[in-house]
Structures are given as C-alpha cells and as structure tokens.
Amino acid sequence: MGILDGKRILVTGVLTEASFAFHVAKLAQQEGATVVLTGFGRMSLVERISGKLPSRAPVIELDVQNEEHLSTLAERVGEHVDGLDGVVHSVAFAPQSALGGAFLDASYDDVSKAVHVSAYSLKSLTMATLPLMPDGGSVVGMDFDAQVAWPGYDWMGVAKAGLEATSRYLAKYLGERGIRVNLISAGPVKTMAARSIPGFEQFEGVWDKRAPLGWDLGDPEPAARGVVALLSDWFPKTTGEVIHVDGGVHAVGA
C-alpha cells in the first residue's frame, strides 16, 4: 500500500527520463497513484517516455500560454480520470537572451515570456484544474532557490522568485477550498532544461563543496520524493511552503 493509493495526479513537464517530472510520475505510480501527463511541442517524445513508466500514462497536450488549451484542460483530463487529487507544475522556460549574463540587456518581451511560462502558469494551471478538485487537493511546483542571485540564471531567477510569491498567494486564496500549494526547491540536476542554461556547470562546484548531505547532479529522485510526499495526505496542514531538497546548501554559508 503506497502513500498515494487511489489518488489521481496530473504531472506536467515530462520530456526525458532525466526530468524531475518523469521521476515524480514514476514514483507516484509506484505509490499507488493514477497518473496523467501533459506535454508541449514534442508530443511523440512525451508519448514514448510515457511508455517507460511502470504503467503507460495518457498524455495531453498543454501549452501554458495557450488559453484554449487551458480552458479545455479539465475536460480533456476528465476523459481519463473522474477528478484530480494533485497537480504537479514542472514547467519553466526563458529565452536564451534572458540568461547567461545578459540580465542588463534582456528585452521586456523575453522577460515577460520567462515570467509567464515559469511563474504565472502556476496560477493558470491551478485554476484550469480547479474544477477537478472540488474536495480539495495538492498543487506542487518545482522551484530553484530564488533567495540569491546565481551566475547565468538571470531572469529565470526573477521568474522563480515570482513562482514562490505566486504559490503563497494561491495558498492564501485557495485554502478555503482545501487546496494546498507548495514548492520543492531542488538542487541542480543535469536535466535537458538545466543544460540549456549557459554556465550551468558553475553550479557543480557549489554543491560539491557546500552540501552538508552531499548532492548528486545525476539523481532527480530525492526532489521527486519530496514532491510525492507533498502530494500525499501526510502534509494536511502545510501550504504556502518552499521545501528545500538540495542537500542543505540553502542553509549554509561559504
């Protein structure tokens, strides 16, 4: 018997087997959940990755900037499950011009896209799936520590700060409906998304030297376990929280 027995979970952002979202979906199934995935763009790839889960999960197309996709999401998810108990937000994007040390030169158009996809989408995804959670549920987003400025992370760092603020306001306004909204602030892992960040290799030395518990950049499972725990009933009164799964780097100085 798993901690997600009987729960219905929507997981966004699965792209490769290395992604946080894939490991969340895999662990959720192993813990007893029925999982539905969303993908964007390379749908055939997401379908193929779904086949590598313990049980193949249905895949729905979702562009978080597409109002039609959002307005029909509940209906399309409802074709596979009769409701939801949890939603995983694992979506982020910033144009290359907003990363890699170009902070002072990035255009507002590029910055606004980063904020829309990486922060505002937590609100739009939550509201789009709200009709499927009439009795409450758990929304969990993937974060990267926005308390400090990181080399090359630039406007994505600003977007992550916006994600953290968005989660707190969602927690405030949706608590009366029984919706918990929390984030897992994960240490860096060599996912496809991470490799697109110029200077990502600079993070390696930081975690190698500073993580009290150590950190493996090739292992997304610790953060995925944190997500699954928050999706479960074991945190019934936790909301608006950012839980760090980073080996302890956030808690120590140089």
Catalytic residue among 7, 26, 113, 153: 153
- 3 state SS for the chain: CCCCCCCEEEECCCCCCCCHHHHHHHHHHHCCCEEEEEECCCHHHHHHHHCCCCCCCCEEECCCCCHHHHHCHHHHHCCCCCCCCEEEECCCCCCHHHCCCCCCCCCHHHHHHHHHHHHHHHHHHHHHHHHHCCCCEEEEEEECCCCCCCCCCHHHHHHHHHHHHHHHHHHHHHHHHCEEEEEEEECCCCCHHHHCCCCCCHHHHHHHHHCCCCCCCCCCHHHHHHHHHHHCCCCCCCCCCEEEECCCHHHCCC
User: Do the annotations mark residue 26 as ligand-binding?
Assistant: no
- Tell whether residue 94 is among the known ligand binding residues: yes
Residues in Cβ contact with 59 at an 8 Å cutoff, skipping those fewer than 6 apart: 36, 37, 38, 39, 43, 46, 47, 50
- Rounded Cα gap, residues 33 and 86, in angstroms: 10
* 63 labeled binding residue: yes
Considering the candidates 26, 160, 173, 237, report the single residue annotated as catalytic.
160
Q: Is 191 known as a binding-site position?
A: yes
Say whether 169 is catalytic. Answer: no
Per residue in 30-42, pLDDT (tens digit) is 999 999 999 998 8
The yes or no reply on domain 8-243 and CATH 3.40.50.720 is yes
C-beta separation of 212 from 247 below 8 A: yes
Q: In this predicted structure, what is the pLDDT of residue 119?
A: 98
Q: Model confidence over 129-161: pLDDT tens digits?
A: 999 999 999 999 999 999 999 888 999 999 999
- Residues 154-172 have a mean pLDDT of 97
Summarize the confidence of residues 187-214 as an average pLDDT. 73
131 closest CA partner among 73, 182, 209:
73
Per the annotation, the verdict on 153 as an active-site residue is yes
Annotation-wise, does 190 bind a ligand? yes
75/81 Cα distance (integer angstroms): 10
CB 54, CB 30: distance < 8 Å: yes
- What predicted TM-score, i.e. pTM, was given to this entire model? 0.95
What local confidence, expressed as pLDDT, does residue 41 receive?
83
- Measured between alpha carbons, how far is 232 from 115 in angstroms, rounded to an integer? 29
Q: Hey, where are the domains in the chain?
A: 8-243
Task: For residue range 198-208, list pLDDT tens digits in order.
Answer: 666 666 678 87
Answer yes or no: is 91 a known binding residue.
yes
Report the pLDDT value the prediction gives residue 218, as an integer from 0 to 100.
87
**How many CB atoms are closer than 10 A to CB 54?**
12
* Alpha carbon distance 203, 72 (integer Å): 39
pLDDT digits (tens, 9 = 90+) for 78-113: 999 999 999 999 999 999 999 999 999 999 999 999
The pLDDT, as a whole number, for residue 135 is 97
Q: For residue 123, what pLDDT band results from cuts at 50, 70 and 90?
A: very high
